[in-house]
Amino acid sequence: MSTKDKILGEALTLFSENGYDGTGVEQIAEKVGIKAPSLYKHFKGKEDILNALIDNAEARYEEYFGSEQHIGKIPESSEEFIDVTMERVLFTMRDPMIRKIRKFLVQEQFRNDRLAAITTRHQLEGVQKMYTRIIESMTEKGLFIKDDPALLANELTAQVVLLIAKADRQPQLEKEITDSIERHIRHFCDVYMRA
């Protein structure tokens, strides 16, 4: 692992534990095992580190979760819809980088407008828009009943987002929470998908 990657990893851990304002460049450098001036060979400062972390997390989320612009293959059945949705949920819950970024963003969203916008996009608007497009496409294929795709996406995602937030606060309940999420998705499919 490069020094730059180590800096990003330690900064993310410290930001998620202490917040942005509660973390100094010296702390990051110490965790990496370098002197603070050496850190400046890789980054201009703490804000540059934050920007790199956000860019990396956005790229990782786009690659493994998707977005409104990158929805991936449209499921052909309720089981495929459930499987793909659960893969996304488990990635969100278990990926160490995404978990730390989410924890950091939840804390910092009230202090930084940019971080608030990123939090809203990932936890609300972005996932709802992505599932609106998926449900629209599946409705066109005759897999969902005709209804407002945006409302259906909201109904699907709102409960999942709340349960993921609960898992962040109570990681010891992950199994119970993932089971609840899967039951919710299955119930959603039973109600809104054509048999």
Residue 157 lies in a domain: yes
pLDDT tens-digit series, residues 59-106? 998 999 998 888 989 999 999 999 999 999 999 999 999 999 988 988
Q: How do residues 5-37 score in pLDDT, each as one tens digit?
A: 999 999 999 999 999 999 999 999 999 999 989
Q: Which domain holds residue 2?
A: 1-52
> In the predicted model, is pLDDT for residue 154 greater than 80?
yes
CA–CA–CA angle 67, 168, 159 (5° rounding): 60
| pTM of the entire predicted model | 0.87
Nearest to 17 by CA among 99, 111, 114: 99
Q: Are residues 79 and 136 in the same domain?
A: yes
**Considering the domain boundaries, does residue 60 fall inside one?**
no
177 with 103, same domain?
yes
